[in-house]
């Protein structure tokens, strides 16, 4: 019965991570995330800078940044009329994935076909 409860909890966690998984699953958005990581988290980057680093059009970068912002993967701050996009490990929903993966691993260890039969 315990495994059924744990599977139900995993299903909830997957639903909570769905926006993040969708956002980071796209190769174009991955290139934007890598560009932001290369720039560092302190200052952030403007759309024009991201465009130069990723060789994407300005509208494409803006579109993908919106998806990343909506999923709370990327944050931004405004200085006057300028927006600076950055990754903040303390605020990003990416950390939800770590928890999900840890719970999947724990379930597989406890209930998967490779569990240690001597511990049962």
| 117 has a pLDDT exceeding 70 | no
- Compute how many other C-beta atoms are within 10 angstroms of the C-beta atom of residue 60: 15
In the chain the domains, ranked by start, together with CATH numbers, are 2-111 (1.10.10.10)
pTM of the predicted protein model: 0.82
Structure confidence by residue, pLDDT tens digits, 64-102: 999 999 999 999 999 999 999 999 888 888 889 999 999
What distance in Å separates the CA atoms of residue 37 and residue 60, rounded to the nearest whole number?
19
Write the DSSP symbol of residue 89.
Answer: T
Q: Which of 11-20, 40-49, 66-75, 100-109 has the lowest mean pLDDT?
A: 40-49
pLDDT at 109: 87
């Amino acid at each position: 019965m315990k495994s059924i409860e744990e599977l139900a909890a995993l299903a909830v966690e997957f639903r909570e991570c769905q926006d993040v998984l969708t956002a980071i699953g796209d190769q174009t958005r991955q290139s934007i995330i890598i560009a932001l990581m290369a720039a560092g988290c302190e200052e952030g980057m403007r759309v024009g800078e991201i465009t130069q680093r990723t060789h994407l059009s300005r509208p494409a970068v803006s579109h993908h940044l919106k998806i990343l912002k909506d999923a709370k993967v990327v944050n931004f701050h405004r200085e006057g009329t300028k927006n600076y996009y950055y990754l903040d490990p303390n605020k990003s929903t990416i950390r939800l994935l770590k928890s999900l993966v840890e719970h999947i691993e724990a379930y597989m260890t406890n209930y998967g076909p490779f569990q240690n039969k001597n511990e049962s």
